[in-house]
Structure 1
């Protein structure tokens, strides 16, 4: 899947979650709440990586790790959009900058 498609599909799914939040809480989540949700999922990625390497006492769950990595990318796309950042451009520029850094 192309990064632009990830961004578009992420926005569509986020809108569906906004509707669920409105039903549940009477309002959609703020950007700050979205950022906190991302950090929660990113933390779960860290815990699962630690579990897979034996550094965390929980049993490793490869499926959970896979899902949380995907969800973290989704949250990053959502947060970029909410903050006026083109997700495709951000990722592309970062990769180009890093590649150039190591070509020196």
Structure 2
């Protein structure tokens, strides 16, 4: 994935989050906190695990492939949102992780 593509993903992710904040204000009179965003991410991360189990025929569920694709995308979206809300540049975080891990595995 090129840096430009990741920039576009971040931009689109933030625009979508703004729309969700508008819905939160409409329904609950306030935006979700970063802690609530983190909890939503953890819930969706668990659903990735469940959909992997189903895809691998270890859990009985219909349509798990489509749900798995959606949840993997949604988890990346949540990580983008959590990074931005934490003041962390996701591209820098990914680069640092890859650099450190590559060095550890040499």
Long gaps (5+) in structure 1: none
TM-score by length of 2: 0.89
Higher normalized contact order (CA 8 Å, seq sep 6+, divided by chain length): 1
Which of 30, 37, 41 is residue 38 of structure 1 equivalent to? 41
Output the CA distance in 1 between the equivalents of 2:100 and 2:12. Answer: 26
Output the CA distance in 2 between the equivalents of 1:101 and 1:3. Answer: 25
How far has the Cα of 1:83 moved from its partner? 0.7
Match of residue 29 from structure 2: 26
Which of 49, 52, 55 is residue 52 of structure 2 equivalent to? 49
Match of residue 17 from structure 1: 20
CA deviations 1:44-103 (Å, max 9, x no partner) are: 10000011112223335111000000000000000011111111110111112222222x
Q: How much is the aligned-residue C-alpha RMSD, in angstroms?
A: 1.4
Long gaps (5+) in structure 2: none
Count of equivalent residues:
103
Match of residue 6 from structure 2: 3
